[in-house]
Amino acid sequence: MPNEPEKVRERLALRAATTYMLRSARVLNRIVGNGDILRTLIFLAIVDANVRHLRPGDVFAQTHSGADDRVPDEARRPISIHALALELDLPYETTRRHVNRLINDGMCARGDSGVIVPGEVLGREAFVIGLKQNYENLRQLLDDLKTGGVSFDD
């Protein structure tokens, strides 16, 4: 059973992570969601699925991580609506409706194997600004964790 200081650090870490998640969701929801947080979550899950195979340490991923040098669309892995619904534990029909709206709004594209969020979408000014805001959110999270005595060195 963790000792009391460890429990305190865990609670502080969870609070900081929750605040980070909500700040980040707010940023992306303004860009994508039009007030619909589920739409935002589905969009984010598509982005993640498209580039999940690229690990942060991969040279290819590092080469294509800048705001002006995104992962080429050919390197993005499409995700089917069915797989997306399963991943998010959402009803298929709900997921399909949201994805179709994202497609109609030019936020993602459908191909033979599923959907992707094209690099062109992520290169739009609102997304570039949002990326910078989320980077600051991440820095704040790390600072909050450090200030709270949370360390991942063990």
- What pLDDT does 56 receive? 67
Ordered mean pLDDT values, 10 residues apiece, the chain (154 residues): 71 91 94 92 97 76 58 93 98 98 97 96 93 94 87 70
- C-alpha to C-alpha distance for 123 and 65, rounded to whole angstroms: 11
Instruction: Please give the DSSP secondary-structure letter assigned to residue 33.
Output: I
If you compute the radius of gyration of the chain from its CA atoms, what whole number of angstroms results? 18
**What per-residue confidence (pLDDT) applies to 10?**
85
Give me 19's structure tokens. Answer: 């605040």
Give the sign of the dihedral formed by CA 10, CA 20, CA 107, CA 72: negative
Q: What is the pLDDT of residue 31?
A: 94
User: What are the extents of the domains in the chain?
Assistant: 4-147
Give the SS3 label for residue 80.
Answer: coil
User: What is the value of pTM for the model shown?
Assistant: 0.83
- As assigned by CATH, the class of the 4-147 domain is mainly alpha
